[in-house]
A = this chain, B = another copy of it.
Amino acid sequence: MARKNAFYAQSGGVTAVINASACGVIETARKHRDVIGKVYAGRNGIIGALTEDLIDTGKDSVSAIAALRSTPSGAFGSCRFKLKSLEANRREYERLIEVFKAHNIGYFFYNGGGDSADTCFKVSQLSQAMGYAVQAIHVPKTVDNDLPITDCCPGFGSVAKYVAVSALEASFDVRSMERTSTKVFVLEVMGRHAGWIAAAGGLVEDHGIPVVVLFPEIEFDQAKFIARVDKLVRTHGYCTVVVSEGAHYPDGRFLAEQGTRDAFGHAQLGGAAPVVANMVKEALGYKFHWAVADYLQRAARHIASATDAKQAYELGQRAVELALAGHNAVMPTIERVSDTPYRYRIGVAPLAKVANVEKFMPRDFITKDGLGITDKCKRYLLPLIQGEDYPKYKGGLPQYVTLKNVAVAKKLAPFELK
């Protein structure tokens, strides 16, 4: 096997543990220097490859790379940049191969969600067609948990833990004040198409909290929702609502899109949470509070799931091992063996079956009334939030690492992004 360099890039929305996968890739590659030479990272994801803006990860120390394991965000930069289809923009794919060739890159590790899996697959195909062999391995990552085949996606377990812990804590707060203050608390979470993250909020039910969950998979029924909230408040004195940003009406309109205008007539961007909270106020008169967790949820490395952080690392590690074993156009996956005790093994899936497939919540994970999660869903979710994997702290704040990110000298003419 001729020694080749590797290229690693982070794609799409970052997570609390995507750097743990980077750590797994780099540390494992460093153990195989006879086969894998340097590990280059794309600055700002795939844009770094297109513009030949490569980072030499070898310039960062063993301890800096190790610290990636507990640092949230994308240490090399990520991007929202979807390559067009091969037919529509063959130029971009050819440029990638050209850059790989110029830097003797034989391994392409792409750390992202469904779109990235598709790109990874195409790079693999084109490299064969162009006669420059690149082994393309996808490392799964998405807080949305919507990749097929794999039982779960790194990033999801930690956001699920954040949402469950936050919903539990805020619910305790509301419960202790409902006599004279807030009776309905609304927490908005991510998940534009799939309700996995919102589902995690439903876990507080087994801790005695009356909770309603609004999923993107279920068309919003206002009358039913209001009736449920009212019943819970009458029974328990309060209730918590966890609403997915993707919750929508039967006509597809998001709850967040209320055609709201400010005093100047400008369209006002709100969230689903204030809309739902005001809806409750108007219908039932209950005092409310709402929170929008936004980036706090996916960046919350301080409360990462130990299971998630471990799997993120292992999938990075296994991606390199798969490459060393000669695999191409595949993605390592989590295969669940049992719920209790939780056991899993790492499998492998062909990218042809992963690319552009979204996995939604199964209907039997959602209660019949569409407003909560079933026991089956709880059995699925609970193992994924197990364990705490705290970062080190210094002076009261986590010691997250910022890498040097030293650029590799360019060899090619500039490339213009379109």
Contacts and interface: CB of A to CB of B under 8 A. Distances in A.
Contacts of A185: 295
A81 B174 contact: no
Interface string A198-210: 0000011001100
Given A260-B268, A274-B269, A293 B291 contact: yes
A358 interface: no
A296 interface: yes
Nearest to A273: B292
Interface in A218-261: 258-261
A172 B71 contact: yes
A203 B397 contact: yes
Residue among A71, A187, A388, A402 with the highest chain B CB neighbour number at 10 A: A388
Interface stretch (A72-80, A103-111, A130-138, A318-326): A72-80
A176 interface: yes
A150 to B, nearest CB: 20
Given A261-B260, A263-B259, A293-B296, A165 B302 contact: yes
A169 interface: yes
Contact of A166 (B81, B289, B296): B296
B268 A274 contact: yes
Interface residues of A, number: 84
B79 A181 contact: yes
21 contacts: A13-B177, A14-B177, A74-B176, A78-B177, A165-B398, A166-B300, A169-B295, A170-B299, A173-B295, A204-B397, A259-B262, A260-B260, A266-B278, A268-B270, A268-B274, A269-B278, A273-B292, A290-B294, A382-B395, A385-B397, A386-B396
Interface of A: 10, 13-14, 16, 44, 47, 71-81, 161, 164-166, 168-170, 172-177, 179-182, 185, 187, 203-204, 207-208, 258-263, 266, 268-271, 273-274, 277-278, 282, 289-296, 298-303, 305, 382, 385-388, 390, 393, 395-398, 400, 402
